[in-house]
Amino acid sequence: MALLGGFMVVRLLRWIIRLVVLAVLAAAVYLVVSGAQVWLASRVSEPVHSQAIIIMGAPETAGAPSATLAARLREAGDLWHQGLAPLIVASGAQQPGTHHAESAVEAAWLAQAGVPPADVVQVGGSVPSGELSDAAAVLHARDDPDVLLVTGGIEEKLAEAIAGADGLHPSPVPASSVPAKALPDLGAIAKQGLAVGLGRIVGYRHLSWFGFVLGGAR
C-alpha cells in the first residue's frame, strides 16, 4: 500500500513539473512575441491626417532639449508644418533636480521652429502613463481623439497601448536620435516587451504592481 502511495506521489510530482515547464515555456513564447511586436512597431510610421500630435516627454538640460527630445520635436514640428494636425500637445512635468518642465522646453523649441503658441497645449506627467492621461483629458474635452504619437521607436508599442486605454486613437510616428543602422537595444526591447505583455494581462495602469515605472520612454 505504501509502495502504491509512493508511486502516486511520484506521478503527481511529474505532472506538476510538466505543468510548470509548460507554463514557463508558454510565458517565454508570449514575452518573445511581445518583444517582437515592440521591435516591429518601432519600424512603423503612420503619419496620417489627425486632430493632434502628442510629443512624449524626454530629458532636458538647463532649458535645452536632450538629443532624444530634440528628435521628437523635429518630428512633431515637421508633422505640423506638413498640415497633418493643427494642434501639438507638449507633455512632461518638471523632473526632480531640474528647473524646467519638459513641456515648457518643448513649447519654447516649437515656437522658435515657427509653430504659433496658440497651436501648442502643455500638459504635465512625470512618466508616459501620466503624460498620456493628461493629454487624453485635454483632447477628449476638445473631442479630438485621433492623434499622432511621437516618441522613441522602441517605446512606441507601449505608448500606443496606454493611449488606446485612455480612449485615444493613436497613429505611431517614431522619432529617434539613434542612427538608422545602429543595432537594436535588445535590453530595451526585452523590458518594453515585458511591460507590454504584462500590461495586456493586468492593465497598463497596474504595471506598478510589478515594479514597472512607465518612464522607459525617457
Question: 57-82 pLDDT, tens per residue?
Answer: 998 988 999 999 999 999 999 999 99
pLDDT of residue 177: 58
Distance, in Å, from the CA atom of 37 to the CA atom of 29, rounded to the nearest integer, reads 12
CB 171 within 8 A of CB 50: yes
Whether this model's pTM surpasses 0.85? no
CB 72 within 8 A of CB 56: yes
Question: Buried (b) or exposed (e) across 92-103, using 16+ Cβ within 10 A?
Answer: bbbbeeeebbbb
Domain boundaries 1-177+186-218, CATH class: alpha beta
pLDDT of residue 54: 98
Q: What is the mean pLDDT of the chain?
A: 85
CB 57 within 8 A of CB 91: yes
Which stretches of the chain score pLDDT less than 50? 179-181, 214-217
